Homo-oligomer: A and B are copies of this chain.
Amino acid sequence: MDNNFKLTIEYDGTNYHGWQRQVNERTIQKEIEKAIEKMTREKIILTASGRTDAGVHAIGQVANFKSNTRIGAQDLQNGLNSILPNDIVIHKCEAVDQNFHARYDAKSKRYRYTIINRARPNAIGRQYVWWIKSPLNIEAMREAILLILGEHDFKAFEGAGSPRSHTVRHIHQATLEPDGTGKLRIEIEANGFLRFMVRNIVGTLAMVGAGKLAADDIALILNSKDRKYAGATCPAQGLCLMQVHY
């Protein structure tokens, strides 16, 4: 294949069964592959920095594919945006080095999780937040989130049924801030994530916020390396893949 194209992609995951191609389900990967194949008339394989689960969104997902097409990167981008449904937008399309691999070359990723904490849910934008009714202790959650910074074995925060040999990850940044519109924004950047890791961390932070766990219980949970001590996996729709660094 002559060309290697790198795409930077935003999507609203509400109406998809996640990133990964599945036979009978509508997925982001399938939708974009279909659009590329329509333009290039080739069978291609789109490789993402990582899959996102059903209902999860992305503002800066990155994927690449190889192709012999003579269509240039700019025309590809314009064409794809006109073919794709409006809940998927290609923000960049670049011709990159043959060796570039969206998954293997990713150095770190940043996820955002958004919580709305008030008596009643929102109607507008409800697809992008997790509504928590009872008041959260933000200070305790802030204290707790600091404990995940650095290199740890995140086995206790890994989704059940997806064991990997290597569960140590390095969290470079972890913040919890009001977003200025009444919502709470949790951002986590790491060199990699285990399955459900962000949603399990946020589910655990929510328990700290609700007073069901103490802030420093996070350290005990990490050390336990046992999924049963961490909080429940929180809902997919609050999660968004913000950026992938190479």
| Complex Cα–Cα for A11 and B12 (A) | 20
- A120 lies within 8 A of chain B by Cβ: yes
Given A120-B81, A120-B89, A121-B89, A12-B180 contact (CB < 8 Å): no
A124 touching B128 by the CB < 8 A rule? yes
Whether B125 and A128, one on each chain, are in contact in the complex, defined by CB atoms closer than 8 angstroms, is yes
Does A24 have its Cβ within 8 Å of any Cβ on chain B? no
Main secondary structure of the interface of A (DSSP, over half): mixed
B89, A57: Cβ atoms closer than 8 Å:
no
How many copies of this chain sit in the oligomeric assembly? 2
Chain B: minimal CB distance from A105 (Å): 24
Q: When the two chains form their complex, are residues B12 and A126 in contact, meaning their CB atoms are under 8 A apart?
A: yes
Residue interface bits A68-87, CB-to-B below 8 A is 1, else 0: 00000000000001000011
Q: Which B residues lie within 8 Å of A89 (CB)?
A: 120-123
- Tell me which residues across on chain B come within 8 A of A126, comparing CB atoms: 12, 86-87
What residues of chain B lie closer than 8 Å to A87, measured between beta carbons?
123, 126
Q: Mark A1-30, 1 if CB is under 8 A from B, else 0.
A: 000000000111000000000000000000
Task: Please tell me if A88 contacts chain B, counting CB pairs below 8 Å.
Answer: yes
Please state if A123 and B81 are interface contacts (CB–CB under 8 Å): no
CB-contact partner of A121 in B57, B86, B122, B123, under 8 A: B86
Offer 28 A-B interface pairs, CB within 8 angstroms, sorted by A: A10-B122, A10-B123, A10-B124, A11-B123, A11-B124, A12-B123, A12-B124, A12-B125, A12-B126, A57-B124, A59-B124, A81-B120, A86-B121, A86-B123, A86-B126, A87-B123, A87-B126, A89-B120, A89-B121, A89-B122, A89-B123, A90-B120, A91-B120, A124-B128, A124-B240, A125-B125, A125-B128, A180-B180
Top 3 closest pairs, chain A to chain B, by CB: A10-B123, A89-B123, A12-B123
